[in-house]
Structure 1
Amino acid sequence: MVKDHSLSDFIFHIIEKHQIRSYDPAFLERLREKLSTISQLYYQIYSTHPHKDEMFEKLVVTLFRANNERSNGLKKRDEQKAKKGHWFLSNEIVGMSLYVDRFSGGLKKMPSKLNYLSKLGVNFLHLMPLFQSPEGESDGGYAVSDFRKIDERFGTIEDLKGLIENMQKKDIYLMLDIVLNHTSHRHEWAEKAKAGDAYYQDFYYMYENRWIPNQYEEHMPEIFPESSPGNFTWSEACQKWVMTVFHEYQWDLNYMNPMVLREMMDNILFYANLGVDVLRVDAPAFIWKQTGTTCQNLPQVHTLLRLIKQCVMVASPGMALLGEAIVAPKEIIKYFGTGEFTAQECDFAYNAVQMALQWDMLATGETDVMMAAQHEILKKPFGTSWITYTRCHDDIGLGYENHTIKAAGKEPYKHRKYLMDYYSGKYPESPAMGKLFSSNPKTGDARISGTLASLCGLEKAIKVNNPDHIEESIHKIILMQANSLFIGGLPILYYGDEVGYTNDYSYEEDPGKSYDNRWMHRPIIDWKKIKLSDKTGTIENRIFTQTQKLIQIRKKLPVIADLKNLTWSSPQNKHVAVFMRDKGDERFFGAFNYSKFQTHLTWFAFKEHTLAPKRLLDHWSGQEFEVGPDNEFLEFQPYQFYLLEVLE
């Protein structure tokens, strides 16, 4: 461990030994400030490793080189972001997540689509995995065979750089993924390991017999029990068992080896120097393995993420980190950092629990299960933010904790069974047309696939040509999007949802995708359909313009910035969710009726946690309300919501 009194000597030693002839003074200042913490975190993990000191030195050299390779333009952006403080908390940022090939046909064509996104109001893009992964064994791009090479299906690294340049001219932020937990078995490291190279075999968990794998399996759950049972795969090439938590073609990286950390840190900073504003760290909960545990959410995971965050703050301070940890609320809060590292681990996490609870509310028409989960969700520290969303490329999990369901007076197994039946269309009169994903016959658990529109009933309504049901489904779609846009965090729309794309079943004819029904909600965009968003009265136009309006309202209300300023009203009506956002003298209320019935809400809901307002402006309808006494009510139509600013 580098002691405080020897920091300058150590840095000078690095500069001299590695002949570092130039360096940024601001970088050197950040390194001096953070080096003690970086050292502390590193040696917490690697204090017993025989090459710990040598590897630590290499890690620090990596930071020097990355910052020297960072362009002056990106360093200027770093400075601009620093002046804004927590730049990513702004109410003016609205994102979209998309597959480049399925959205535009490739990276070369993406610049021509930026005006469409700007018209909608999107100024933050999450481009789904772009880097090389083997056809038929890609897991949607999360089985990476080269972290530096764009898959030829999308284009080239030069195409990506050209797109980034265009995005920056339009003030559009960029998020890319990095898969820290594993590589493809076709990655250079894995191929060398297969060939018997002991150095690279130590990059993975590899065993000659089942003795240690069996110890792991005793406590590790199965992630994909249907398609990929178990957590180890036999490699004929090297005659060893390899840990493969997700799919047999995804080999888990061994972070007990500090060289793995250094190599992956180098990749992280490569992405930073491309111009990435937010780096999405895929499946961080799994990156540390230990027998006798579930190998998820272990303390060493947080130590590694804090170490990575400190290194990023030194070499590329303008890049924020998103930890894609889809775990229970008590666990996910830890990914923002705890104790002395509060708000110094991941800047973002997905609010996957709130997303799933929105779908719970829509299916049941009741808010009580959602409300029971808020105690943990509200523990998110100031200076960090949620990614809020209604749908994404992934399935909808129902993994929120049993006690939240019990608190609403429901039995967990039966409740989840109802939700699975409802969204898979098995429940009588359900309008949803989803499918169950990753069903586990041992536990009865499953997750849900389907587009926002199909799960809200639009596909079925169009199929039977029922105008009333079409109308109702559009109300549901906009209700769900409004909640995600105003509840707090950086909202990310999912491509196609802005024009009501329904399920795409063509994946069933593709052998590389047919086993994974999540492809039903990963559509190929037909730009003729997108053009319908300009034609007044079409379904596409109605959904697009209403989504556009929601974004415009969000951007003009600074109170919606994520300043840890969310307060829930206690339930006055189990069908209606009400929250307050406040900033100084500004106050805003979101009120959402998740039921198919007309209902009402006592005015007390708007006085419970603040001085009683006198007048409210609903930004959605333009209507003003005089706040009445507590025995009078605000009326709601089915699936109606209000976006209420306090005028006085």
Structure 2
Amino acid sequence: MASDHHQPDLIQQTINKYSIDSNDKDFLQRFNERIGTISKLYYQLYATHPKKDELFEQLIVTLFKANNERSLDLKKQDEIKSNKNQWFLSNELVGMSLYVDRFAGNLKNMSSKLDYLEELGVNFLHIMPVFESPQGESDGGYAVSDFRKVDPKFGTLEDLIALNKKMQKREMYLMLDIVLNHTSHRHQWAEKAKSGDPYFQDFYYMYDNRWIPNEFEEAMPEIFPEAAPGNFTWSEECQKWVMTVFHDYQWDLNYMNPMVLREMLDNVLFYANLGVDLLRVDAPAFIWKQTGTTCQNLPQVHTLLQLIKQCVMVSTPGMAILGEAIVAPKEITKYFGTGEFTAQECDFAYNAVHMALQWDMLATGETEVMMAAQHEILKKPYGTSWITYTRCHDDIGLGYENEMIKAAGKQPYEHRKFLMDYYSGKFPNSPARGELFSSNPKTGDARISGTLASLCGLEKGIYENDPTVIDEAIHKIMLMQAHSMFIGGLPMLFYGDEVGYTNDYSFRNDPGKSYDNRWMHRPLIDWKRNKLAEKDGSLENRIFSQTQKLIQIRKQLSVISDFKNLTWSTPQNKHVAVFMRDSADDRFFGVFNFSSFPTKLTWYVFREHTQAPKRLLDHWTGDEFDVGYDHEFLELQPYQFYLFEVID
């Protein structure tokens, strides 16, 4: 294609050539509105590729095919979501992330657990990877060998569809993963590449010698320096070096080849037509590689994601996209789109920086480092949202920028060393029971594994049979959950945290897991234990009922919908974080004491950025407060929080 001038002719020729048609007027309108942008983005990436026009034709065919295959029920859902105007920003959404096999055994059994989730208040389910992945080389399901086949240990594709239909009847939403960056080396594309097929070898980064790999390695960091050093693996079958950024069994896809984009877009739209409401794109920061760079967060990554988003909006508009980019604060907001594509790239990103900063606050009892990050986090554009969370299947990284730590008057290396020692239980009197993950002896960097409960001290309290430590741990758990649930975004609980599961050390006896201590916070659910959530006074009941209450409060307050309405208060002391969420009809204040001792605030904090309120209702305790004068104080106990709504 020489220029956009020829684009309408090529598009019409393609429609005629492949005899593609659609009676869906809404689809045709979306297609005509967006095809120019799709063309522009595509040719930004592939203008020099010898088969660019032929493969663009196939991309157009893919869009028509996906919409023609979309069920009437899903098209109705598309319309309902469109009428709600950014349905995914609602305060009524609360999610849970889980492994099907470890939570319920298989997909059929998941149906029997929907009542439990509804009782808790969860209506948005992130089912961790269920598509086929080789035993012992699965990376928790992120080494996919077949994007269209559910792994038999979970059930079948029909089981997944049946579960989703039951969820839809309950108005529950489904989130699934797609791994765009790589496939398993057992995927049919990789197997064909191993057999010597040059067509499929071009789906990956493959080299006869180390010359180009060495060029890449000069600037590429190691993701798992202990378990998988280096970024290339020698393939005996191919007699070539293959790029394997994560593990040697995960082969990186080559998006410089537009056929890879077309094939993976076809998979994206296949998932949309299964009824997926939110598609979690795993590790998008890595999907474009270039020598002389870190091969992370390159401009072409954003062009690819913008292109995929435009295609989804044309063919399957009811599906939102989450970019799982666990990157520095200055980079993360770019995944929502910039310039003319602001709020048109990923609808969601993980607020991983703030998640880690919550753990920073809990360990130090101080909010200064967290506050230093907010100017970047608040750049998230209107119409997009965060996934907020305290824990997930992954480790806790401490990758926020050194400048943020320095702004709090601390030295970055010493500060991170303290956090690692504190959460691994090495620091004197630390109640936390976690372990370091992916330690890099060259840099001193490491990440942290452990469940929410164990990192908050519950494991220690139970082991020592100390009610005081147990009570304090539960206060910490609820403080962390409340903070992430009300700060803005879609809160995503991690399964087991709702009843206080502590670390599971049995992974050490499993050869397929023993190398990865993240399995310590991926529990196998004991439903007899979870049944204790119904027993008054049990630990499980205390945590479940309080989590349930937080969810109920969130769903009552429309001001918590994520409409870019967060304002931080100037810290009066370094131990308490205060923010305001406001709308035309309501004002809400979250007040959180992260320290282990009582503290106080002057009432001025509630009039700093808004008209002075007279009376506040704390939804957590049900107590009402008259707002005092500036020289008077609101008191907070250790790890106490308030969820204030202005009532006068």
Q: Same fold (TM over 0.5)?
A: yes
Q: Which amino acid aligns with 2:377?
A: I
Q: Distance in 2 between matches of 1:306 and 1:626?
A: 49
State the match for 2:582 in structure 1.
Answer: 582
Deviation at 1:161, TM superposition (A): 0.5
State the match for 1:603 in structure 2.
Answer: 603
> Is the CA contact 2:205–2:242 (under 8 Å) kept in the aligned structure 1?
yes
State the match for 1:188 in structure 2.
Answer: 188
Deviation at 1:605, TM superposition (A): 1.0
Q: Distance in 2 between matches of 1:7 and 1:548?
A: 54
Deviation at 1:11, TM superposition (A): 3.8
Q: Distance in 2 between matches of 1:384 and 1:38?
A: 21
**What is the aligned-residue RMSD (CA, Å)?**
0.9
Q: Distance in 1 between matches of 2:390 and 2:132?
A: 28
> Is the CA contact 1:91–1:558 (under 8 Å) kept in the aligned structure 2?
yes
> Is the CA contact 2:356–2:397 (under 8 Å) kept in the aligned structure 1?
yes
Local SS of the residue matching 1:223: coil
> Is the CA contact 1:450–1:520 (under 8 Å) kept in the aligned structure 2?
yes
State the match for 2:387 in structure 1.
Answer: 387
Q: Which amino acid aligns with 1:476?
A: K
> Is the CA contact 1:177–1:279 (under 8 Å) kept in the aligned structure 2?
yes
State the match for 1:241 in structure 2.
Answer: 241
1:64-93 CA distances to partner (integer Å, 9 max, x unpaired)?
000000000000000000001110000000
State the match for 2:494 in structure 1.
Answer: 494
Deviation at 1:19, TM superposition (A): 1.6
Q: Distance in 2 between matches of 1:585 and 1:410?
A: 41
State the match for 1:523 in structure 2.
Answer: 523
1:484-541 CA distances to partner (integer Å, 9 max, x unpaired)?
1100000000000000000001100000000000000000000001100000000000
Q: Distance in 2 between matches of 1:265 and 1:272?
A: 11
**Counterparts of 1:175-324 in structure 2 under 5 Å?**
175-324=175-324
State the match for 1:643 in structure 2.
Answer: 643
Q: Distance in 1 between matches of 2:9 and 2:194?
A: 42
Q: Which runs of 5+ in 2 are unaligned?
A: none
Q: Distance in 2 between matches of 1:18 and 1:463?
A: 68
Local SS of the residue matching 2:251: strand
Deviation at 1:578, TM superposition (A): 0.1
State the match for 2:426 in structure 1.
Answer: 426
Q: Distance in 2 between matches of 1:307 and 1:395?
A: 30
> Is the CA contact 2:336–2:348 (under 8 Å) kept in the aligned structure 1?
yes
State the match for 1:25 in structure 2.
Answer: 25
State the match for 1:85 in structure 2.
Answer: 85
Q: Distance in 1 between matches of 2:585 and 2:553?
A: 19
Local SS of the residue matching 1:238: coil
State the match for 1:366 in structure 2.
Answer: 366
Q: Distance in 1 between matches of 2:179 and 2:458?
A: 35
Q: Which runs of 5+ in 1 are unaligned?
A: none
In structure 2, the CA distance between the partners of 1:54 and 1:493, relative to structure 1 (3 Å rule), is same
State the match for 2:560 in structure 1.
Answer: 560
State the match for 1:513 in structure 2.
Answer: 513
Local SS of the residue matching 2:587: strand
Deviation at 1:2, TM superposition (A): 8.5
Deviation at 1:165, TM superposition (A): 0.5
Q: Distance in 2 between matches of 1:520 and 1:599?
A: 35
In structure 2, the CA distance between the partners of 1:576 and 1:252, relative to structure 1 (3 Å rule), is same
State the match for 2:613 in structure 1.
Answer: 613
1:92-150 CA distances to partner (integer Å, 9 max, x unpaired)?
00000000000000001001100100000000000000000000000000000000000
> Is the CA contact 2:284–2:325 (under 8 Å) kept in the aligned structure 1?
yes
In structure 2, the CA distance between the partners of 1:585 and 1:222, relative to structure 1 (3 Å rule), is same
Q: Distance in 2 between matches of 1:417 and 1:440?
A: 13
Q: Distance in 2 between matches of 1:575 and 1:60?
A: 55
Q: Distance in 1 between matches of 2:97 and 2:201?
A: 35
Q: Distance in 1 between matches of 2:245 and 2:3?
A: 38
Local SS of the residue matching 1:77: helix
State the match for 1:167 in structure 2.
Answer: 167
Q: Distance in 1 between matches of 2:7 and 2:212?
A: 40
> Is the CA contact 2:22–2:28 (under 8 Å) kept in the aligned structure 1?
no
> Is the CA contact 1:421–1:427 (under 8 Å) kept in the aligned structure 2?
yes
Q: Is 1:40 aligned with 2:46?
A: no
State the match for 2:106 in structure 1.
Answer: 106
1:194-228 CA distances to partner (integer Å, 9 max, x unpaired)?
11000000000000000000000000000000000
> Is the CA contact 2:21–2:64 (under 8 Å) kept in the aligned structure 1?
no
Q: Distance in 1 between matches of 2:480 and 2:337?
A: 29
Q: Distance in 1 between matches of 2:2 and 2:375?
A: 40
Q: Distance in 1 between matches of 2:526 and 2:258?
A: 46
> Is the CA contact 1:8–1:32 (under 8 Å) kept in the aligned structure 2?
no
Q: Distance in 1 between matches of 2:289 and 2:8?
A: 35
Q: Which amino acid aligns with 1:243?
A: M
State the match for 1:439 in structure 2.
Answer: 439
Q: Which amino acid aligns with 1:505?
A: Y
Q: Which moved more, 1:7-16 or 1:271-280?
A: 7-16
In structure 2, the CA distance between the partners of 1:4 and 1:25, relative to structure 1 (3 Å rule), is farther
Deviation at 1:625, TM superposition (A): 0.6
Local SS of the residue matching 1:553: helix
Deviation at 1:25, TM superposition (A): 1.5
Q: Which amino acid aligns with 1:592?
A: F
Q: Distance in 2 between matches of 1:219 and 1:406?
A: 26
TM-score under structure 2 length normalisation: 0.99
Local SS of the residue matching 2:219: coil
> Is the CA contact 1:287–1:301 (under 8 Å) kept in the aligned structure 2?
yes
Q: Distance in 2 between matches of 1:16 and 1:301?
A: 32
Q: Which amino acid aligns with 1:183?
A: T
Local SS of the residue matching 2:60: helix
Q: Distance in 1 between matches of 2:315 and 2:454?
A: 44
State the match for 1:154 in structure 2.
Answer: 154
**Counterparts of 1:398-413 in structure 2 under 5 Å?**
398-413=398-413
Q: Which amino acid aligns with 1:551?
A: I
Local SS of the residue matching 2:117: helix
State the match for 2:626 in structure 1.
Answer: 626
> Is the CA contact 1:393–1:522 (under 8 Å) kept in the aligned structure 2?
yes
Q: Which amino acid aligns with 2:129?
A: P
Local SS of the residue matching 1:218: helix
Local SS of the residue matching 1:233: strand
Q: Distance in 1 between matches of 2:23 and 2:408?
A: 59
Q: Distance in 2 between matches of 1:170 and 1:60?
A: 35
Q: Distance in 1 between matches of 2:389 and 2:35?
A: 36
Deviation at 1:23, TM superposition (A): 3.8
Q: Which amino acid aligns with 1:443?
A: T
Q: Distance in 2 between matches of 1:63 and 1:565?
A: 36
Q: Which amino acid aligns with 2:162?
A: G
Q: Distance in 2 between matches of 1:529 and 1:539?
A: 10
Q: Distance in 2 between matches of 1:232 and 1:542?
A: 49
Q: Distance in 2 between matches of 1:618 and 1:89?
A: 24
Local SS of the residue matching 1:248: coil
Q: Distance in 2 between matches of 1:397 and 1:5?
A: 48
Q: Which moved more, 1:10-19 or 1:62-71?
A: 10-19
> Is the CA contact 1:244–1:251 (under 8 Å) kept in the aligned structure 2?
yes
Deviation at 1:13, TM superposition (A): 2.1
Q: Distance in 2 between matches of 1:48 and 1:167?
A: 46
> Is the CA contact 2:7–2:39 (under 8 Å) kept in the aligned structure 1?
no
Q: Distance in 2 between matches of 1:153 and 1:430?
A: 40
Q: Distance in 2 between matches of 1:280 and 1:152?
A: 22
Deviation at 1:604, TM superposition (A): 1.1
Q: Distance in 2 between matches of 1:512 and 1:499?
A: 27
Q: Distance in 2 between matches of 1:10 and 1:82?
A: 30
State the match for 1:544 in structure 2.
Answer: 544
Deviation at 1:14, TM superposition (A): 2.4
Q: Distance in 1 between matches of 2:540 and 2:2?
A: 60
Local SS of the residue matching 1:373: helix
Deviation at 1:8, TM superposition (A): 5.0
